[in-house]
Chains A and B, each alone.
Chain A
Amino acid sequence: MTEFLFFIEVVVAGLLAGTMYSLVALGFVLIYKASSTFNFAQGAMVFFAVLSFVGFMEWGLPFVVAFLVTIALMALVGLATERLVLKPLRNQSEDTLLMATIGLGFVLEGLAQAAWGVEVRRLDLGIGDFPIQWIIDSTGLFISALDLTAGLVAATLIIALALLFKYTRMGLGLRAVADDPGAASSIGIPLGSIMLMVWTAAGIVALVAGMMWGARAGVQFALVDLALKALPVLIIGGFSSIPGAIIGGLIIGATEKVLEVYIGPFFGGAIEGWAPYVLAIFFLLWRPEGLFGEKIIRRV
C-alpha cells in the first residue's frame, strides 16, 4: 500500500511539474500558430524574463511592481522582435524565420547576462519546496507546496489563454491568421498587432515558467535548456494544438518523474535530462503528426 501511495506521489509530482512544460509548450504553440515557426528563442526568453525580474527585485522594487515591469519589458521585446525581425522577414521562408529566432535567442541570452551578470541567483517566492501538512493528513501523500503552486499557476494561465483565444476579438484574429495569413490580411486583420500579442503572451508565459523553475533550482543559464523540453512536448502533442501542448506536457512530466524514480538508479540518475527526448522519438515513429496534430482540412 505504501508502495502504491508512493507511486501516486511520484505521478502527481510529475503531473504538477508537467503543467509547467505544458505552459512553456503553449508559448511555442502560439508563435507556431501565428507564424509557422518554431521559436528557438523561447528558452532564452525564459532566462531573460526571470533574470530581469530578479534584477528588478534586487533594485528594491516590490514583487508585484517587478512582475509588471518585467511583463512590460517582455512586451517591448515582442514589439522589437516584430518590428526588427519578423516584419522585415515577412514573406520569407520558414527556414529563414527559424534562423532568425535562433539568432534572437543568442541576443537575449547575451543581453540578459550583460545587464544582470552571470552568477546564479536565488529567487524566493515565499513558498517552500516542502510537503503540505493537510494533504499528508488527509491522503497520506507528500506533495510539495512549490509543485502544487506551480501546477495551479500554470493551469490557471493555460485556461486563461485558451479562453482568450476562443472568445475574444484578438483570439479570433490569431486563429484566422493561423489558418490563412493572406486571407486574414485581405479582410484587414493586421498581422503586426497579432504578432505583437502572441509574442507578449509568450513573454508572460516565459516569465511565469522562469519564476517557478528559478524558485526551485536557482535562476541560471540552465533554464534555457529546461525550456527546450517543450520540444519533445510538442512532438508528442502536435505543434499547432493547444490541447496537445497541455496533454503532451503532462505526459512528459509524469513519465520522466516515474522513470527517474524507478529506473533512474540503474542509469546513475539524471535520466530526466534525456528521457523526454527518447519518449518523443517513440512518438515520432508511432504518430509523426503528434497526438493532436490536426488533420489537414482539404479545401474543396
Chain B
Amino acid sequence: MGNYQMTDTDNILEIDTIEVVYDSVIAALHDVSLSVPRGKIVALLGGNGAGKSTTLKAVSTMLAGERGKVTQGSITYDGIPVTNQDPADMVGLGLVQVLEGRRCFGHLTVEENIISGAYSRRLGKAQIRDELDKIYGYFKRLKDRRKSQAGFTSGGEQQMVAVARAMMAKPRMLLLDEPSMGLAPQLVAEIFNIVNELNQKEGVSILLAEQNTNVALRNADYGYIIETGHVMLHGSAESLLADEKVKELYLGISREGRKNFRDVLRRESTRHAGIHH
C-alpha cells in the first residue's frame, strides 16, 4: 500500500477516460483510457474509423490542427498534464508522432528528411553527422538511398524515413500510426524488427496503432482493442493472441467471417445467460 504512487509513475503515458470531439459536434472517442508503461510497446488495435489515429493525435496535440478537441478526461505524459501544449512543445518533451500514411517530404532527399527531424534540437554540423550515423545503423537500407529524393523511394523506404526522421528528434516516446499500412509482409517484418530494436536499445516507449492485429500483438507487450471510440478489451499481448474472441474477430480464425466486436460480446453474454436459465 505504501508504494501506491509507483505504478502511476512507471507509466510514461496515461490516458484517462478521454472524450474527443471534431468540429464541436462529431464525437470520435467516448471514454478511452489506456496507459503505456515506460520502455514498453503497447498496441492500439481496431478497424478503420475505430479511433486509433484520434487517440494518438490527442496525445501529440496534433488534434487542434484538425479542429478536434479533448472535451473530457485527461492525458498525462511523463507526469505532465497535456493541455495547452502544441506539437512542437510535445516534441521538445520527447514525444513524437509518426503520422499515418508515412508523410515524407517528397521533394527533399532521404537524408534531408531525416535531418529535418532534428530541427528542434539545434545541433551543430558534427553532431548531426553523429546522429545520422547512429540512425543509419538501425535503418541500413536508407544509407544507400540517402541522396535519393524521398518521393521516388518505395513505400517501405518512405515508412522507414518517417520513423528515422522521428528518431532524429531523440524521443523518449514514439506514437506510430499504422506503420504496416500497404506494405508487403516481408517489409512489415523488417520495419517491426527495427521498431523493436529501437525500443530495446534506445529505450523508447511506443504506442502503436495498427489494424494488423497479428503482427502488432507479436511485437507488443500489451494491447488495447477499440471500436467506435470505446475500449472493448485489453490485456497482455499473449493473452490477447490466445483470446478466442480476438482470434475470431481480428486474427481471421473465424467460422462465420468477420463481424463487429460488440456482436461477439453480445452473443457471449446471451450464451452465458442461456446457461444460467
Contacts and interface: CB of A to CB of B under 8 A. Distances in A.
Contacts of A185: 62, 65, 86-88
B120 A189 contact: yes
Interface stretch (B25-33, B151-159, B191-199, B226-234): B151-159
Given A186-B62, A186-B96, A299 B88 contact: no
B152 A180 contact: no
Contacts of B207: none
Contacts of B162: 183
Interface stretch (A2-10, A46-54, A169-177, A262-270): A169-177
A188 B103 contact: no
Interface in A179-215: 179-180, 182-190
Contacts of A179: 105-108
B39 interface: no
Given A91-B67, A300-B155, A300-B158, A186 B87 contact: yes
A297 to B, nearest CB: 3
Contacts of B92: 188
A188 B88 contact: yes
A172 B162 CA distance: 16
A172 B113 CA distance: 9
A299 B86 CA distance: 27
Contact of A187 (B102, B107, B112, B165): B165
Contacts of A184: 105, 116
B66 A186 contact: no
Interface residues of A, number: 24
Nearest to B157: A300
Contact of B112 (A172, A190, A297, A298): A172
A124 interface: no
Given A179-B107, A182-B103, A188 B91 contact: yes
B101 interface: yes
B108 A176 contact: yes
Contacts of B168: 187
B213 interface: no
Contacts of A190: 86, 88
A189 B108 contact: no
A189 B119 contact: yes
B116 A176 contact: yes
Given A90-B65, A169-B122, A186-B166, 15 more contacts: A91-B66, A172-B108, A173-B119, A175-B108, A176-B108, A184-B105, A185-B86, A185-B88, A187-B96, A187-B119, A188-B87, A188-B91, A188-B92, A188-B96, A189-B120
8 residue pairs, one from A and one from B, having the closest CB atoms: A188-B91, A297-B151, A188-B120, A183-B103, A179-B105, A297-B106, A300-B155, A188-B88
